[in-house]
């Protein structure tokens, strides 16, 4: 599962299954032992959970980079190389 970003201990990956298409564009977020799946458009928690603070970081990051995430989703579906997305940084 290709990693597209890492920030504040959170790892973001895009996952596509060989031979199958996902119905909803999404990313997987990992933080310590927790895993959550977030839809890209709209940005929303689809499954799993993260601690509240990390969940808010992921949502904020996804809102900033929604277009890049959709571009990566489409690349992954077409088995093209995906691009790293800048991490969330302190303002």
Report pLDDT digits (tens) over 12-36: 999 766 555 567 899 999 999 999 9
Burial class (CB in 10 A: 0-12, 13-18, 19+), 12: buried
pLDDT at 1 over 90: no
- The whole-angstrom separation of Cα 47 and Cα 30 is 12
What predicted TM-score, i.e. pTM, was given to this entire model? 0.90
Residue spans per domain, the chain: 3-77
Confidence of residue 77 (pLDDT cuts 50, 70, 90): confident
> What confidence score (pLDDT) does residue 22 get?
61
């Amino acid at each position: 599962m290709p990693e597209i970003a890492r920030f504040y201990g959170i790892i973001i990956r895009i996952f596509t299954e060989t031979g199958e298409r996902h119905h909803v564009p999404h990313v997987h977020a990992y933080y310590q032992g927790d895993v959550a799946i977030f839809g890209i458009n709209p940005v929303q928690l689809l499954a799993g959970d993260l601690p509240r603070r990390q969940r808010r970081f992921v949502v904020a990051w996804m809102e900033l980079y929604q277009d890049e995430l959709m571009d990566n989703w489409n690349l992954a579906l077409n088995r093209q190389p995906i691009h790293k997305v800048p991490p969330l940084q302190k303002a």
